[in-house]
Amino acid sequence: MIFKTLAGKTSFVGLRLPQTFLFLLFLGSLGFGALFFLPETSRLKRIFQHNSDNSAVITDSMNGQSTQPSSPIGLIGAARFDIGVLRIQSQLSSSNGKQTNNNKESQGTISMEHTSEGDAADDKVHTRGVVVSIRARSPVRVKLRNCMLKPPYGANYGKPSDPESLQRREKVKEMMKFAWDNYKRYAWGENELRPLSRNGNDGRTFGGLRGASIVDSLDTLYIMGLGEEYQEAKEWVENNLNLNVGGEASLFEVNIRYVGGLLSAYYLTGEEVFKRKVVELGKNLLPAFNTPTGIPHGVVNLASDSKRWSGGDLGRSSVLAEFGTLHLEFVHLSELTNDPIYTEKVMNIRKHLNQLDKPRGLYPNALNPVSGNWEQHYVSIGALGDSFYEYLIKSYLMSDRTDEVAKRMYYAALEAIENNLVQRSPGGLIYVAEWRGGILDHRMGHLACFSGGMIGIGAEHGSPETRQHQLDLAANITHTCHESYRRTLTKETCRRVKILTSFYGTGVTACFLTADWV
């Protein structure tokens, strides 16, 4: 699979299964994990099949008939699981492409056979009694298609044989169910649960949209095999999710919670209700881009009859992590709707950023959407900047590694970060400082801890000469984040960590709490 390498203390060969499980949940919440569970649409296949006539057909290995695999986790009842995961039913167009049946049923493993007919080779993938014939032209495409053929890591697939790993896996599921049950009991339909007062909170972030926790949890519930809870969430979306609300909503939050949540749920399950909702919501977000530069404002009025972007003062800044965290979802909106406008909007953001001067190659966190200039030179890979960098490397991977612009932007940004922000404390902790107009602020926000995983992923696809160095950097940053937990009395970290660079000479960390953490 693509994500076979991530940072670790001593080994970078692969993730243990519990770590893979948690990592998939993280990807699902942003909508990226859903990329590998495509619905039956030729437009979306272009992401994987550019300049190719490749196609695949699923047949039953016992009788040679087309098959609809049943849901491996029994979640969706009459809904067709094969649409979201295993339904790749385009017939082979080549006259020489003959389908081969195999009577040997694989018990949870995947094997590859290679035969040659004519000028091309057919790869047969055997998985749980299903033979998939793939006409492949490169090992890369074979690997990508193998990823697409895997079902979600749910209750009945991919269970570890190691008792300790299985126990940890079940504990994660238990924690999710505990959180879901209490949300359902005290705050059903609200955006958030207030755990101390035990009531719901809609807040002002979503402009009148409700059920953010429900929409954002759809893919997690599905992947974990929590079938009853998934059905409850789906029914709420179908009957209660009203997208035509008139409040001012955060473009960023609506995109990652609602658009990302609905997209991944659609790709995982094939349920048309999720597609209808996300297409409607996507249209309501477009007014945010009605600025002189095309850089979207941070807030938008979601009413379908609203023709203006919102936010009051025209000079109000747009935040790098907000307008830079739209690319993945908006490209998929164009694929689903066959309307290029969504892709054009995010490509324009890229074009504008590439034309701007960047201090020491760094991206400041605030941009004026009217003038198109940086508002100040404050740089952070934590809050206000974080997911911009994450989406660059993920955009490159989502394109089957053909998006060279995203690749160049990511590795250039990483080089600038390493040259200007990466520091070592007197005690040996590697951290990423913040930058204020050329002056280093030796603080590292908790949100910057994601960068260990990001750098680890990027190391696999960059220069071979820098691969090990980047893996080491990823591991060291992750170690520092672990220390920010370990060195507190409660073993919980805080929002920002101050690295002491002079006192004691040991790199002792100090916590800074904000009101929402107290």
The predicted pLDDT at position 82 comes to 34
The predicted pLDDT at position 412 comes to 98
The predicted pLDDT at position 492 comes to 80
Determine the straight-line distance between the first and last CA of the chain, rounded to whole angstroms. 41
Query: At which residue do the structure tokens 């109000």 appear?
Result: 316
Instruction: Pull the structure tokens for residue 166.
Output: 């299985």
Element holding 248 (H helix, E strand): strand 248-250
DSSP assigned state of 157: S
3 state SS of 326: coil
The predicted pLDDT at position 6 comes to 38
d(CA 126, CA 101): 10
Instruction: Pull the structure tokens for residue 343.
Output: 């892709």
pTM confidence score: 0.69
DSSP assigned state of 516: G
Beta strands in 61-119 (DSSP E): 111-117
Domain residue spans in the chain?
12-37+154-376, 38-149, 405-518
Per-residue pLDDT of the chain (518 residues; tens, 9 = 90+): 333 333 334 444 444 555 555 554 555 554 544 444 444 444 444 444 444 443 333 333 333 333 333 333 333 333 333 333 333 333 333 334 434 444 333 333 333 333 333 333 333 333 333 333 333 344 444 544 454 455 544 445 667 789 999 899 899 999 999 999 999 999 999 999 999 999 999 888 999 999 999 999 999 999 898 999 999 999 999 999 999 898 899 999 999 999 999 999 998 888 999 999 999 999 999 999 999 999 999 999 988 666 555 544 444 799 999 999 999 999 999 999 999 999 999 999 999 999 999 999 999 999 999 999 999 899 999 999 999 999 999 999 999 999 999 999 999 999 999 999 999 999 899 999 999 998 999 999 899 999 999 999 999 999 999 999 999 999 999 999 999 888 888 888 777 777 755 433 344 445 544 333 32
Helices (H), 31-103: 42-45, 81-84
Could you say which architecture CATH assigns to the domain 12-37+154-376? Answer: Alpha/alpha barrel (1.50)
What is the 3 state secondary structure string of 121-156? EEEEEEECCEEEEEEECCHHHHHHHHHHHCCCCCCC
C-alpha 251 chain-centroid distance: 17
What is the 3 state secondary structure string of 191-214? CEEECCCCEEECCCCECCCCCHHH
Instruction: Pull the structure tokens for residue 29.
Output: 């919440």
